[in-house]
Amino acid sequence: MAIFQHGFDFGDLDMASSAPSSSKLSSESSLAHSASSQTLDVQHANSVAQQDVAAPSQSAPSQSAKKQSGKNQSAKNQSATDCQANPLLPPVTFIEGFLSAKQQQLLMKDVEDYPLERVEIEVYGKKHLIPRTQAWFGDSGCDYQFSKIRISPLPWPRLLGQLRDKLRLEHHFDSNAVLVNYYANGHDCMGWHSDDEAEIVRGSAIASVTLGARRDFVARHKHHHTKVNFALGSGDLLIMHAGMQQTWQHGLPKRLKISEPRVNFTFRHIIPHFYSR
Ligand SMILES: O=C(O)CCC(=O)C(=O)O
């Protein structure tokens, strides 16, 4: 661990500047997706969801979530909500304040140099440009295919590699590739989907780190269609555990009043050389 942290300039930065924020989890089984109803219902729904998460023996973040954040130098600035024990909620751990303000700033600057692309995909035989830009980084051989497009990974940018190390160190989360999605404003979005492509190690977790504008990340159960909203803010981490992709879909709806950019990194575990085997 000492070796990891030595020269780990990303982690060496002042972690104390990471400010805590209130929990932004809401259950919206009966909510429409308008920005105003989201805002109105967050408080009420939040307490419902928190009760669900909390009852009866999890009235605080679970022991495992506490243990995880306890390992972090900035643990005092983090708050973790572990939904894994509640079958009505998606199996996720939501960690607010995972990145300090300084780390967010450095990463945001780094993103400016990424070769972000607006790729064209085919849906039901029609070609569309995706409503966001993206880049794919990873270890060699970690190709990724979606909507009939296959992309090979670019080498890890230094800071993103450090972010991967931070996830490994603090959350025992291993990954070999990351998808970067850049949403220029609230018009950019991502539709309902599951990250269940064949090259993703089945049952592996996916870690999502957010920078920039706070946006609603909505999970929808594939069978009973319950929706749960996570208002992900800058520096937050959402770990989607085993079962999430098989049982729930997720998406990032448009929020037309938002004019600020948002960046999201989803760290994944890909089967290397899957397409050349
Ligand atoms: O931007 C987000 O938070 C969602 C990203 C996502 O769903 C994905 O990369 O599969």
Q: Over the stretch 100-138, which tens digit does the pLDDT of each residue have?
A: 999 999 999 999 999 999 999 888 888 999 999 999 999
Tell how far the Cα of 2 is from the centroid of ligand 1, in angstroms. Answer: 32
* Distance, CA of 185 to CA of 259 (rounded, Å): 5
Ligand 1 pocket residue status of 266, Cβ below 6 Å: yes
The pair of three-digit structure tokens given for residue 92, joined into one six-digit string: 């996720």
The β-bridge relationship of strands 79-82 and 92-96 is antiparallel
40 with 19: CB under 8 angstroms?
Answer: no
The β-bridge relationship of strands 237-240 and 177-183 is unpaired
Q: How confident is the model at residue 27 (pLDDT cuts 50, 70, 90)?
A: low
The pair of three-digit structure tokens given for residue 184, joined into one six-digit string: 């220029």
The pair of three-digit structure tokens given for residue 38, joined into one six-digit string: 């989201």
Q: Which of 129, 133, 136, 110 is nearest to 211 (CA)?
A: 110
Give the pLDDT score at 183.
98
Tell how far the Cα of 210 is from the centroid of ligand 1, in angstroms. Answer: 9
Return the C-alpha torsion angle 211, 245, 178, 5, nearest 10: 80
Ligand 1 pocket residue status of 250, Cβ below 6 Å: yes
CATH architecture of 52-58+73-276: Sandwich (2.60)
- Over residues 79-102, mean pLDDT: 95
Give the pLDDT score at 152.
97
User: Using CA positions, which residue lies closest to atom 8 of ligand 1?
Assistant: 266
Which atom of ligand 1 lies at the shortest distance from residue 238's CA?
A: 3
Give the pLDDT score at 76.
60
Predicted confidence (pLDDT) at residue 261 exceeds the cutoff of 80: yes
Range of weakest confidence among 5-9, 41-45, 152-156, 219-223: 41-45
Pocket probe mutation, ligand 1, options 252, 254, 262, max atoms within 8 Å of Cβ: 252
How confident is the model over 42-84, as pLDDT tens digits?
A: 222 333 343 333 322 223 333 333 333 333 344 567 899 999 9
Average of per-residue pLDDT values in the chain: 79
Question: How is residue 225 annotated by DSSP?
Answer: -
Predicted confidence (pLDDT) at residue 250 exceeds the cutoff of 60: yes
How confident is the model over 1-19, as pLDDT tens digits?
A: 222 333 335 544 332 334 3
Which atom of ligand 1 lies at the shortest distance from residue 215's CA?
A: 3
β-pair partners for 55: none
Which atom of ligand 1 lies at the shortest distance from residue 208's CA?
A: 3
Give the pLDDT score at 65.
34
Q: How confident is the model at residue 277 (pLDDT cuts 50, 70, 90)?
A: confident
